[in-house]
Structure 1
Amino acid sequence: MKRYFSLLFGLLLTTSHLMSQDLTLPLWTGAIPNAKKSNETEKVEKSGIAWVTQVQEPNIAVYLPTKQSATGRAVVICPGGGYAGLAYDWEGTDIAKWLNAKGIAGIVLKYRLPSDKTSEVRYKTPLMDAERALRLTRQHAKEWNLDPTKVGIMGFSAGGHLASTVGTHFDQNASPVKDAAGQLKSRPDFMILIYPVITMKKTLTHGGSRDNLLGPNPDEALVETYSNEMQVKDNTPPTFLLHSADDGAVPVENSLMMYQALKDKKVPVEMHLFPTGGHGFSLAIGKGHLQTWPEVLYAWLQSLDGE
């Protein structure tokens, strides 16, 4: 009997572990590309949410659904934070857990933030990390019970800008590291953009995101390059857009412009606008009609397979 309870306790511990985060993988082994040494160290502040700044060693936290409910789909999640920090749980791990409940793997990206202190070229850093996250996810597809043709990207606010940059610039950047993952494609199979920053044009962008990514006085050509409504091509992946009309931080016009650009190129796109909700609402739990948006997203994801 004593042996039975010992085995049962061990099984419960194992089960508890499996229901939490599965593993964390560094994005890069060896030298991190586009990085330079500085005196900065990563910081995590917890005042309601986990706010991560000064990321030095980017990684992915992998959350997998149970094998019995797994759909084979995976989403790389880019938390927002104005390119100044990462709302790591609010727009990252909380989202991964919701995805798991739908049989979808959630891959939370802790990406480096653009900084002259730690980057050779500041605006290249987040994009390098996001593209690497997609390649790594595909590299581990068999091990994680994923379909490598069903790996998408999701971003909130400035994370939405990063996600949309990946979805419009993927054919412009070879992997800086020529390892096994570096041979795989970085094009996402779909994009999910939640109250995203899209443009870097001064009148409609989020000023903090623009300044942090491009610097205070960027060249106009750089502004155009990172205004992703201008970079949509006919092979940009199918896209889901969500915004609230009263967003006081990132104007709703960001999503409207992206929708029009995608429509013009005949890229499949679905957009949902809520009259109220403001900015940074994550899953919108307790916010009335707004909290229905995750189920709307889930229905869209199912539609990608004609389900």
Structure 2
Amino acid sequence: MICKTIPLNETAHFDTYFLNNSNEYNVGKKRPFVLVLPGGAYAFTSDREAEPIALRFNSIGCHAGVLWYTTRDLVPNVPRNAFEEAMMAIRWVREHADEYLVHTDQIIVCGFSAGGHLAIECATMWHEDWIAKKLGCDPECLKVNLAIPCYAAGKAEKMPVGESGPLMMRPKQTGNMRFFGSDDPTDEQVEAYNCLNKVDEHTPPMFIWHTYEDQLVDVGNSIELAWNLKKHDIPFELHIFEKGEHGLALADRTTARKDSHKNPHVYHWFELCEEWLSNYIDVAEGMYGELPFNPDFMKD
């Protein structure tokens, strides 16, 4: 595996988990790339929704990376800033696709909670002219081909002026400033956070999952997202598990911080996701690589 830390700016970077090119199997095969977007209420980035997720995607033959976008109240309007950083990461991956054997038509975002919001932002905003101009590239360089929002917060309500918002023990700025870029945001600024209404013909297919019992991010976020995808004739798969709290990640011992993070039913979300992905990433022609098997590989 090729693990690198790629700086994006002074406060954000992403870690790569590129699979090595074997001389025995999948020789010369270009693989999908999954950019993992941890949650954390845009206040921090959760380890539980980072490397373990990337390694799980590695286990099914995908390259992966984890975006450590800017949090800790170092910038206002964290969601918009994080979107720009995610686009920087995707641009870097496409620019280095030949070097690491990345399939440029199989760039995927997978995000959890606030990272799920970011995944939906990436899926619905990648084509906007302003971001391509800001990053000095063609919009197609930023294209998101598939998205996997997990218990995603697709929208948020304005908080009382001066309130710190969730999950911040010692906040440097108010929750409204963190989410909307203003302590007393206008209706337009609040709606700009709502990426559920930004679905259009540029939006890629999605695999969506949530739990009915989620008390932090209402399951209605995922239902509304699916409905908007349906209205625009965008393919999707939606799984709502009845039992389970917010933040289950892989729902097994790998990512459990407490007993309730282990849920043997929700655990199957990744298996379902892999089955869904296979329709998009398993190409019959050239599926097992472009070069012939090298019988001398064991001599290296």
Scaled by the length of structure 2, the TM-score of the pair is 0.78
- Matched with 2:170 is none
Q: 1:170-249 to 2 correspondence within 5 Å?
A: 170-172=126-128, 173-178=131-136, 185-201=141-157, 208=166, 211=176, 212-214=178-180, 215-249=182-216
Quick one: which amino acid aligns to residue 240 of structure 2? L
Change (3 A) 1:163 1:114: farther
- Larger relative CO (CA 8 A, sep 6+): 1 or 2? 2
Between the aligned partners of 2:34 and 2:250, the Cα distance in structure 1 is 16
What is the percentage of aligned positions where both structures have the same residue? 28
Q: Given the alignment of the two structures, is residue 293 of structure 1 paired with residue 269 of structure 2, yes or no?
A: yes
- Matched with 2:48 is 90
| Structure 1 unaligned spans of 5+ | 1-17, 29-55
Please say if residues 155 and 192 of structure 1, whose CA atoms lie closer than 8 Å, have aligned partners that are also in contact. Answer: yes
Aligned to 2:243, which of 265, 276, 290?
276
Between the aligned partners of 2:155 and 2:78, the Cα distance in structure 1 is 18
User: Cα distance, 1:216 vs. partner?
Assistant: 4.2
Quick one: which amino acid aligns to residue 142 of structure 1? D
User: Cα distance, 1:304 vs. partner?
Assistant: 1.7
Change (3 A) 1:244 1:183: closer
Aligned to 1:72, which of 28, 31, 50?
31
- Matched with 1:112 is 70
Quick one: which amino acid aligns to residue 130 of structure 1? A
- Matched with 2:13 is 59
Secondary structure, in 3 states, of the residue corresponding to 2:240? Answer: strand
Please say if residues 138 and 184 of structure 1, whose CA atoms lie closer than 8 Å, have aligned partners that are also in contact. Answer: no
User: Cα distance, 1:123 vs. partner?
Assistant: 4.8
Change (3 A) 1:290 1:124: closer
Secondary structure, in 3 states, of the residue corresponding to 2:239? Answer: strand
Between the aligned partners of 2:63 and 2:206, the Cα distance in structure 1 is 18
User: Cα distance, 1:176 vs. partner?
Assistant: 2.4
Between the aligned partners of 1:114 and 1:219, the Cα distance in structure 2 is 24
Q: Given the alignment of the two structures, is residue 81 of structure 1 paired with residue 40 of structure 2, yes or no?
A: yes
Between the aligned partners of 1:281 and 1:22, the Cα distance in structure 2 is 26
| Structure 2 unaligned spans of 5+ | 160-164, 168-174, 253-261, 284-300
Q: Given the alignment of the two structures, is residue 153 of structure 1 paired with residue 109 of structure 2, yes or no?
A: yes
Between the aligned partners of 1:255 and 1:264, the Cα distance in structure 2 is 14
Q: Given the alignment of the two structures, is residue 103 of structure 1 paired with residue 84 of structure 2, yes or no?
A: no
Aligned length, in residue pairs = 253
Question: Which string of whole-angstrom CA distances, capped at 9 and with x for unpartnered residues, describes residues 90-130 of structure 1?
Answer: 10110011111111011100111284x545x6553111101
Between the aligned partners of 1:183 and 1:253, the Cα distance in structure 2 is 31
Secondary structure, in 3 states, of the residue corresponding to 1:171? Answer: coil
CA RMSD of aligned residues (A): 2.3
Secondary structure, in 3 states, of the residue corresponding to 1:266? Answer: coil
- Matched with 2:279 is 303
Please say if residues 32 and 106 of structure 2, whose CA atoms lie closer than 8 Å, have aligned partners that are also in contact. Answer: yes
Please say if residues 44 and 72 of structure 2, whose CA atoms lie closer than 8 Å, have aligned partners that are also in contact. Answer: no
